[in-house]
Amino acid sequence: MIRIVILGAGNVATQLFKVFFRSEKSSVVQVYNRSKARLNFFKEKTSTTNSLEDLAEADIYILALKDDAIAEIALKLAHLKALIVHTSGSVSISALDSCERNGVFYPLQTFSKNKKVDFHEIPICLETNNEKDFLLLKALAESISKKVYAISSEQRKTLHVSAVFVCNFVNHLYAIGAKLCEEHKMSFEMLQPLIMETAKKITELNPIEAQTGPALRQDQQTIESHLSFLKSKKQKEIYELLTHSIQELHGKKL
C-alpha cells in the first residue's frame, strides 16, 4: 500500500484524490490546503490540514498546486525523506531541487471538478532522478492507468504546449460556436455529432488529411460572408488568422 499526501484542493488534486481513494494499492493519508474552506470536500474521507507543519508521514507527497506555488512549497518540505512530486505540465523537475528525492507525476488530461474522468486511458508522464524512485512512482501510476510513460521535462513541455492547442484552445472554439448558436437561437447540441466526428477522425487520418472547409477550399465568397456574419471583433480576428494559417499550412496562396 503506497501512502500518499496530496497538497492542493483544485481540479487536479480533487480528481487524483478520488481515484487514489478508490484504489486498493494506495491510501490517501492526508490532504493539505492553505485555505481551510476548500478542505471540506475531503475531511469526511481522510485527515486534512492547512498547516505544513502537521503533514502526515507518507511515501509520496503529491504537489497538485498552481505552477508558481510549487517551488515555494517544496522549499518548506526540504526536510522530508519521502518522494516529492508535482503534477504540472509546464514546471521543470528542477523546481523541486530543494527536496532530496523528487519527481513529476503529470496526467495528460483536462480536469474539471464536476466531470468524472476514467483514469485508465489517461497517459501518465513520469520523471524522477533515480531508478528506485521511478519504480515507486510507476507502481503508483500503473495502479490507476494503463498508459504510463517516462517523459523528460523537455518532452513534457512539448506535450503541454500541444495540449494547450488541442484542448484549451479547442474548447475555446467550442465556446465560440456555442455563443454563436445562443445568440442566433439555435441549439448547440446539433453540432455535437460534428464535434465528436472531428475528434474521432484524426485517430484514422492525420489532421492534415482530415482538414476540410472553406479555408482549405479557398472559398473566398464563403469566407467573406462568414466574416460579415460575425459581429465580435475577436471572433473576426480568430476567423481570419486561422483561415490564413490553414492556407499557409496547406501551401496555398493567401
We find the least distance from the C-beta atom of residue 4 to its own copies, in angstroms, to be 23
Identify which of residues 1 and 167 has a Cβ nearer to its own copies in the complex: 167
Estimate the share of the chain in helix, then strand, then coil, as percent rounded to the nearest 5: 50, 15, 35
We find the least distance from the C-beta atom of residue 85 to its own copies, in angstroms, to be 18
Q: Cell triple for residue 63?
A: 504537489
Residue 49: which residues within 8 A CB-CB, separation 6 or more? 30, 31, 32, 39, 55, 56
We find the least distance from the C-beta atom of residue 235 to its own copies, in angstroms, to be 8
Identify which of residues 52 and 202 has a Cβ nearer to its own copies in the complex: 202
We find the least distance from the C-beta atom of residue 189 to its own copies, in angstroms, to be 8
The CA-to-CA distance between both ends of the chain, in Å, stands at 60
Residue with cell 471540506: 40
Residue 196: which residues within 8 A CB-CB, separation 6 or more? none
Identify which of residues 17 and 83 has a Cβ nearer to its own copies in the complex: 17
Residue 218: which residues within 8 A CB-CB, separation 6 or more? 247, 252
Up-side HSE of residue 150: CA atoms within 13 Å toward CB? Answer: 10
Identify which of residues 50 and 235 has a Cβ nearer to its own copies in the complex: 235
We find the least distance from the C-beta atom of residue 84 to its own copies, in angstroms, to be 20
Q: Cell triple for residue 202?
A: 484524426
Identify which of residues 82 and 163 has a Cβ nearer to its own copies in the complex: 163
